[in-house]
Amino acid sequence: MAEKFAEIHVWMFNKIKLQNQFSDEIVKQLSDEAQVIQIKKHIEEFFPFPKGNLEDIIDYENIHQWLEKHLILTDQKLAWIVKQVKDNPSIYEDLKDFFFQLGKKHRDLLQPVWLKPSYVYRTITDALTEGMPCDKANQVIAHDENHLSWEVSQCMHQTSWKSQHADVSDFYAIRDAWIQGLLEGSEFTYSGKHPQYQIQRN
């Protein structure tokens, strides 16, 4: 029996698409044509990403499994690409700054509501993947009108990054840079060290 298609599935797929975009944006920065061809060939073979509207491409018989499959593939794709650019020090050193600028760019896409920390937190968790919704990996520890702190109760990226012989700490480094870029120029700052993070009103 087919599963019921719901808004939460669109929400989850948008998060997966953004994670996939992270990888594609890194590839766009590469100038070695031969390397780009090799990387794109590997991506198409091992980390294919579907094209089209979600309602036209999703497997209605296995919605959850379909989404989880592409969540894992995009996570592995990002891990593999970051591992490749680590072999090019000049590109890797610029990676955090690139994600900072990408966070600033995505501000227009995500349109954060800068009223209080919980709204900013919602923008971040609506955009970034941390497993499937049922994993409940993010847990808010404390919050008020000026501060919100949360903990990642379990790392949902470790397995994917390990499968690509990549260092998951690189994921958190570029993710942190992206969030800092998203918040740059606002009255909020983001800080922390895995697994605990916080948003603070300046």
190 and 181 Cβ atoms separated by less than 8 Å: no
Which residue in the block uniquely carries the two structure tokens 């501060």? 147
The two three-digit tokens of residue 12, written as one number: 């989850």
DSSP 3-state assignment of 90?
Answer: helix
Per-residue pLDDT tens digits for 60-95 = 999 999 999 999 999 999 999 999 888 776 666 789
The sign of the torsion formed by the CA atoms of 98, 16, 21, 120 equals negative
Q: Is residue 27 part of a domain?
A: yes
Q: Is residue 1 part of a domain?
A: no
How far apart, in whole angstroms, are the C-alpha atoms of residue 92 and residue 85? 6
Per-residue pLDDT tens digits for 153-166 = 999 999 999 999 99
How far apart, in whole angstroms, are the C-alpha atoms of residue 202 and residue 200? 6
> What are the two backbone dihedrals, phi and then psi, of residue 103, each rounded to the nearest 5 degrees?
-60, -40
Q: Could you tell me which residues are beta bridge partners of residue 139?
A: 151
Q: Is residue 166 part of a domain?
A: yes
DSSP 3-state assignment of 184?
Answer: coil
Q: Is residue 2 part of a domain?
A: no
Q: What is the DSSP string of 83-134?
A: HHHTTSHHHHHTHHHHHHHHHHHHHHHH----SSHHHHHHHHHHHS--S-GG
Per-residue pLDDT tens digits for 6-15 = 899 999 999 9
Q: Could you tell me the CATH number of the domain that includes residue 159? A: 3.30.1380
Overall domain count for the chain? 1
Write out the residue range of the structural domain in which residue 78 sits: 7-201
Q: How many residues does the chain have?
A: 202
Q: Is residue 64 part of a domain?
A: yes
The list of the chain residues with pLDDT below 70 reads 1-3, 89-92
The DSSP letter of residue 105 is H
